[in-house]
Amino acid sequence: MRFFYHYIPAPIILLVIVDAIALILSILLGAALRFSSPDLVQEDFLPTSVTFALIMQMAMATFGLYQREFRGRMREVGTRLIASFVVGFALMSFVFYIVPHLYLGRGAFGLSLLVGMMSIWCIRAAFFKWAETGVLLPRVLVLGTGTRALTIATATVSGARTYSANIVGYLPVKSSQHFVDATKILPEEGAPLLSVVDKYRINEIIIAVRERRGGGLPMSDLLSCRLAGVKITEASSFFERERGQVRLDSLNASWLIFGEGFNNRALRDMVKRSFDLFVSGLLLLLTLPIMLVTALLIKFESRGPVFYRQERVGQGGAVFQVCKFRSMRTDAEHDGKPRWATAKDDRVTRVGRIIRKLRIDELPQVLNVFNGDMSFVGPRPERPFFVDQLNKEIPYYAARHSIKPGITGWAQVRYPYGASLEDAVEKLQYDLYYVKNHSLFLDLMILVETIQVVVLGKGAR
């Protein structure tokens, strides 16, 4: 399903709804067990139960329990669930302090926490079992067996598998060369497409054919399928929906030109700017003590400035000075040649290694947000040297500069730290998705996932 241009798998939406119901009922059940008065509980504790569900689900989202690719073992689910409920307990205690009439008593709240945690754990176990069976998922036919079809095959069997489609098989077109697993190629090549759809009970056809001229696509057959109610999807749209990417290897320029998205309107810019100022101001207020301690530690460890300024490319290709905490030696680029940071980079100081892991080195960039050079959420700004190089090597790279760069972004929460041309390509595919579909809703989702990245220490160098 699509909310404000962003795709969310229907199973995840269902999971959110079921969890919410379970959490609401856990407060009511906990209070009923404690006070033995169901009528009183339903009337007096419903506001508390709704507040409890909202806060607990925010905590669970922060620990990745609603991430579309999360398929952890039940032991990992239990660990994240305990962490979520500890955070939720602290937040609920604060809510009880500022809104006393929501308080329901220690005994009832303790029982509710126990019931809620057990319920969510059971729901997760059932959800993973259901997801692995593929029951009720749409049955998908991929038209084509070439390199684009191989990309789809690789994506759907990777560790980042999203449970929202069941690939039934691949149908060759015009005796094209086969790159996909031969056991998944359907034998009905040349048969009427509608008969293949009926035979395998197909709900959706994905077009993965590169050459479409000269009868490369069976247009009349596709029209018959479309009129019969079968969904027809471009490979580019499939990746956008399933992986949150605009894939370069399956991209047609016409799809970008005539498709939805890229709605940079004055009202959206005004809302985003207001959001940037509010979130950045709040972050500055909350992290000021951390920033002061970080500045002192940097000063004590090594000589040199506390802050590090560096040229970066912003919106429209304009160059600005980004501000960060210094995390490397002052002679990190003594030869004057720009270099990407690598894993276990020996230029990083001891304090720098810690603040990079926790992303504290990025905090001074709120000043760039206040100046208007950056947004809080957007593609990460790169140095002019790398931008010139990547513009030559990667198609559509300049498209990421159509909006302001950000402190955090879709690529940062979906892909680990990049330090090569291949990494830049992968991150660009996420950046293009954000540029095409950015909204306040997506920005809020990225903020939640950013907290998860910081808490779980993902992808830092």
- Per-residue pLDDT, 38: 53
In the chain, the domains with their CATH numbers are 2-133 (no CATH), 139-258 (3.40.50.20), 266-456 (no CATH)
- Per-residue pLDDT, 195: 94
Q: Contacts for 261-264 with beta carbons within 8 Å, 24 or more apart?
A: 261/5, 261/436, 261/437, 262/402, 262/435, 262/436, 263/5, 264/402, 264/403
- Per-residue pLDDT, 161: 44
- Per-residue pLDDT, 159: 43
- Per-residue pLDDT, 214: 63
419/340 Cα distance (integer angstroms): 5
Residue with tokens 């950045």: 280
143/185 Cα distance (integer angstroms): 10
**Digitized pLDDT (tens) for each residue of the chain, 461 residues in all:** 787 778 887 778 889 999 999 999 998 888 777 776 555 444 567 888 899 999 999 999 888 888 766 655 778 888 889 999 999 999 999 998 888 888 877 888 888 899 999 999 999 888 888 777 766 678 899 998 888 888 887 776 544 444 567 889 999 887 667 888 888 999 888 889 999 999 999 999 999 887 776 667 888 999 999 999 999 998 888 888 888 888 887 777 777 777 676 776 778 888 889 999 998 899 899 999 999 999 999 988 888 889 988 899 999 999 999 999 988 877 666 666 666 666 666 788 888 888 888 888 889 999 999 999 999 999 999 999 889 988 888 888 888 898 999 999 998 888 876 667 788 888 889 999 998 888 888 998 898 888 877 766 655 44
Residue with tokens 């749209």: 237
- Per-residue pLDDT, 461: 44
* Spatial CB neighbours of 220, under 8 Å, sequence gap ≥ 6: none
Residue with tokens 């993973």: 128
Instruction: Map residue 345 onto helix, strand or coil.
Output: coil
Query: Of the candidates 218, 216, 243, 253, which has an alpha carbon nearest to the alpha carbon of residue 232?
Result: 218
* Spatial CB neighbours of 132, under 8 Å, sequence gap ≥ 6: none
Residue 397 · residue 216 · CB < 8 Å? no
114/101 Cα distance (integer angstroms): 22
Tokens of 77: 């689910």
Residue 200 · residue 245 · CB < 8 Å? no
DSSP state of 158: S
